[in-house]
């Protein structure tokens, strides 16, 4: 018996010497690489958040692994989510940075997604969006959402997204008289239309509006906060839209739609990742989200950071998934615009000049046009790039070339960039 005890102790010592750890040992990623799979293309907001995150996350994970960002765009992050859920390693070394609507597609009955959002392990989010119903003061006397229930106000929209869904929902649940003019390529174009007097307002994220409009405090009035939680520092006297809704069913519809905004920029692990690894990665995600170096880096990229925990996101998704199907079936009707949409025709400008600088591998190109520097966004898939009458990639555009931007306007994505060496 004594011999057996000594042998057992020797075996335990040998196991320790070999570096074999028990099942109860804390996860350690030393020598590993962690991939952040971004469900959208390079250069966008999700990509910028993820690359900033990757520069700081490793120091908060046991073993200090290296983090790499890989873009896997397609179907609004459905491709990336499906890969992480069904194909990727389930050991915590594959993280997803996906769009905030991802959990709700299968819950709301969309066909195609092959994942269960309730089973996904959510790590948290780097942002919690606060949207606003905003009007441009110069061209309307509307100052409250109640005013918009009495008098018509014209909003600019850019398709079946927040810019048109939320005004329609306000019309159908609160009785507002918001008329939508659709067809604006993006918020920048809508803001130009407001300044021209074509439209009087729109719905936007508060952070984007204030970043683009330095005089926002005097130029805009905010009718309601389009969020479940108020902005942490601004908009003190602007009501939450849900506080203006009294009908219980209508309030539930708003809550379902606005839950996505709370999620902001969510990150996830696959459904079969061990619980101890999930716990460790959630803790490290919170640590990096609160890291001063990361926050300073994010500020340089003009990205707000508002941490939302993984457990909070997990709970929200479970709550939405438990919503009666009878309510979900009504959502399409509530979010459908009942009026006749007028569609604006956006002309394309042509600005020609010498290229002064390029950024991010040609994703941003600057040139001098009539003594003023103008910028164009260049998509790798949607922008046609020609150099000396031959189709080229955006990285072929060099400083000193004479190029023509064909685009809606300065700062917008170009339809064509035509260059000569």
Look at the block and give the residue holding tokens 């490793």.
58
Q: Are 265 and 47 in contact (CB under 8 A)?
A: no
Name the nearest CA neighbour of 170 among 319, 324, 339. 339
pLDDT of residue 8: 44
Look at the block and give the residue holding tokens 């994505």.
413
**Backbone phi, psi, residue 65, to 5°:** -70, 160
Tokens of 373: 């520097």
Name the nearest CA neighbour of 278 among 124, 80, 382, 83. 124
Helices vs. strands in the chain: H and E counts, helices first? 15, 19
* 110 sits in which H/E element: none
Residue 170 burial by CB count (10 A; 0-12/13-18/19+): exposed, middle or buried? buried
Helices (H), 151-247: 162-174, 187-196, 206-212, 216-219
pLDDT of residue 24: 57
**325 alpha-carbon distance from chain centroid:** 27
* C-alpha–C-alpha distance, residues 284 and 279, integer Å: 9
pLDDT of residue 18: 42
**Backbone phi, psi, residue 364, to 5°:** -130, 125
* C-alpha–C-alpha distance, residues 125 and 115, integer Å: 20
* C-alpha–C-alpha distance, residues 175 and 217, integer Å: 27
SS3 400: coil
**7 alpha-carbon distance from chain centroid:** 58
SS3 404: strand
pLDDT in tens, the chain (421 residues): 444 343 444 444 444 444 444 445 789 999 999 999 999 877 777 888 999 999 999 999 999 999 999 999 888 789 999 999 999 999 999 999 998 889 988 988 877 889 999 999 999 999 888 999 999 999 999 999 999 999 999 999 987 778 898 999 999 999 999 999 998 877 878 898 999 899 999 999 898 888 788 899 999 999 999 998 899 889 999 999 999 999 999 999 999 889 888 888 899 999 999 999 999 999 999 999 999 999 999 988 878 898 999 999 999 999 999 988 888 889 888 988 998 888 887 778 899 999 999 998 999 999 999 999 999 999 988 899 999 999 999 999 999 999 999 998 888 889 999 999 9
Task: Specify the pTM.
Answer: 0.67
Domains annotated on the chain, with CATH: 28-126+264-306 (3.40.190.150), 131-247+331-342 (3.40.190.10), 349-420 (2.40.50.140)
> Is the CA virtual torsion 368, 371, 377, 381 positive or negative?
negative
């Amino acid at each position: 018996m004594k011999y057996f005890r000594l042998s057992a102790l020797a075996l335990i010592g040998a196991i320790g010497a070999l570096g074999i750890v028990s099942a109860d040992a804390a996860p350690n990623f030393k020598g590993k690489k962690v991939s952040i799979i971004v469900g959208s293309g390079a250069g966008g907001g999700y990509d910028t958040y993820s690359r900033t995150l990757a520069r700081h996350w490793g120091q908060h994970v046991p073993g200090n692994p290296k983090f790499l960002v890989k873009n896997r765009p397609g179907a609004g992050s459905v491709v990336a989510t499906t890969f992480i859920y069904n194909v990727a390693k389930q050991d915590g070394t594959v993280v997803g940075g996906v769009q905030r609507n991802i959990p709700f597609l299968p819950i709301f009955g969309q066909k195609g997604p092959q994942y269960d959002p309730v089973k996904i392990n959510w790590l948290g989010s780097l942002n919690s969006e606060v949207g606003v119903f905003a009007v441009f003061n110069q061209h309307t006397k509307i100052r409250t959402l109640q005013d918009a229930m009495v008098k018509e106000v014209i909003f600019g929209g850019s398709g079946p997204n927040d810019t048109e869904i939320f005004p329609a929902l306000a019309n159908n649940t609160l009785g507002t008289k918001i008329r939508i003019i659709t067809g604006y390529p993006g918020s920048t174009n809508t803001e130009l239309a407001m300044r021209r007097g074509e439209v009087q307002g729109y719905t936007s994220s508060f952070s984007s509006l204030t970043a683009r409009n330095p005089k926002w405090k005097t130029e805009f009035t905010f009718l309601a906060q389009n969020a479940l939680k108020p902005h942490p520092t601004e908009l003190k006297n602007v009501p939450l839209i849900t506080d203006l809704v009294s009908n219980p069913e209508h309030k539930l519809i708003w809550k379902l739609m606005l839950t996505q905004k709370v999620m902001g920029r969510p990150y996830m692990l696959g459904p079969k990742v061990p619980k101890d690894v999930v716990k460790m990665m959630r803790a490290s995600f919170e640590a990096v989200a609160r890291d001063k170096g990361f926050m300073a880096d994010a500020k340089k990229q003009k990205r707000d950071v508002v941490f939302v925990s993984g457990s909070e996101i997990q709970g929200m998704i479970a709550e939405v998934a438990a919503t009666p199907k009878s309510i979900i079936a009504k959502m399409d009707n509530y979010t459908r615009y009942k009026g006749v949409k007028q569609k604006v025709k956006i002309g394309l400008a042509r600005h020609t000049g010498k290229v002064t600088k390029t950024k991010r591998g040609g994703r941003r190109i600057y040139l001098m046009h009539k003594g003023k520097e103008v910028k164009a966004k260049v998509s790798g898939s949607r922008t046609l790039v020609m150099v000396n009458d031959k189709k080229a990639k955006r990285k072929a555009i060099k400083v000193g070339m004479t190029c023509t931007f064909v685009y809606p306007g300065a700062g917008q994505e170009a339809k064509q960039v035509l260059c000569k060496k």
